[in-house]
Structure 1
Amino acid sequence: DLGGQTGLQGIAIYGGVSMEQQTRQLVKGVEIIAACPGRLLDHLWKGTVDLSHLEVLVIDEADRMFDMGFLPSIRSILQCILHRRQTLLFSATIPGDIRRLVQEILHDPVTVQIGHSVPATTVSHASYPVKQHLKTALLKELLSRTKTESVLIFTRTKHRAERVAQQLVRAGFRAASLQGNMPQSKRQAALDGFRNGSFKILVATDIAARGIDVLEISHVVNYDIPDSTDTYIHRIGRTGRVGKTGDAFTFVTGEDTAMVHSLELLLKKPLERRTLQG
């Protein structure tokens, strides 16, 4: 859609639709291909895509693709491009695996970092000290006692997101999970349900939650403390939007002291400590 007025011919290639229809468009000739890694590989193996004249390769949302397990496919695609080209890699975060990929595929790269985020002033912050094995019990009690609209809960791993959502459902909450390895149909169902209110609680990993645009999120809960202050800002930025206020609750274990200190430096004040009575 962005290239609609440029006069360039483009095509979107992704799974779940007919390869034959995509092939017919490719045969006509295109200058831009926007593709999901798996389906692009299908076309490369079939011979319906030729990258021998590729001039610019763009790898977008690299951290999210890694989280969704696409890194092997990306490496396979790169093995099909043997000639010199310009490569651009975009990523909201640069974890170790993405940094290693950069070192592998980019030659003397220039790094461009846009902006430095600060927490929204419309969000209040509080921490809840808790032992790791008691987090889910605390979460259920906190949700029961707190007046909320929609709640977004962040976990560190995909398996934990699914497990926490299942435990909330069994406790009677209208909850769903969102992880990188979900089929697209289930992912869309979880997002649509969260947007329309069928699900009041969404449990997600950082990467899977990328792009969630729901204005009515009243609370963000860090079930697992984020690994950086930037990630904290990304998480809590989902609440307190469009003139509304929001709350960010962070569960803190004994191993999280250093990160709590970093958050307090970011906020320029101590992180309020709360406990639930009873």
Structure 2
Amino acid sequence: MTQSHAEFEARLRRIGAERYHDKHPFHDLLHGGKCTPDQVRAWVINRYYYQHSIPMKDAAFMSRVENSELRRIWRSRIEDHDGTAENEGGIRRWLRLAEAVGLDPDYVASTRGVLPATKFAVDAYVRYVRDKTLLQAVAASLTELFAPQIHKDRIAGLLKNYDFADDSSLSYFRNRLKEAPKDVAFGLQWVLDHADTQEKQDAAANALIFKTDVLWAQLDALYSAYVDPARIPPGAWVPGDGMALAQAS
């Protein structure tokens, strides 16, 4: 039976409560100040691959949208990450975080050293948005419903526990606290309005589950490679590589 808007929104929010990656043990280590400098660097390198793929995901989505109003609204997501004349953008802010933790931003931007599982997960997300229905693509973005709290926890935890953390290095997260609410408000309402049958509601819910799996898989790979059992796969970043000159000397 088709759920009401309120019932379906509650269903979507339960998915986040049960499956969002804020519950992954790597985040407990990171926010609690228990990560080594190299574990933080590994996280920055691998998370960059996700950040730099988001505008490509959104461009793939827009290429399939015939409604000009939807394209206009969605376009701001690309600008938030790629930047504009007035806004340096999230990708540049993430590279500033990379510099702060001692990495060469050019190395990070090259995506060399990214874990294979990170690439597989993120690339699968881009393909999902490119190939699935528009409803599924928008629903997959709704992990942003759950992001504000993790950004707040991350800012507080990093500022408390790491010397590199300051307003400049954490500007990505502070800006997402301002940018994400407009995106998620629109996306949530669009999904509620367009998931007007049980079949469509099930597809949207499964799309959100898929996206939580994408985020969780990235952290599983990171934890396995750099925490326990600390088995770095061939081709992935090895501590000491890709460091800024001041750090490497």
> What's the TM-score once normalised by structure 1's chain length?
0.23
Between Structure 1 and Structure 2, the one with more strand by share is 1
Of the two structures, which has the highest relative contact order with CA contacts closer than 8 Å and spacing of 6 or more? 2
Between Structure 1 and Structure 2, the one with more helix by share is 2
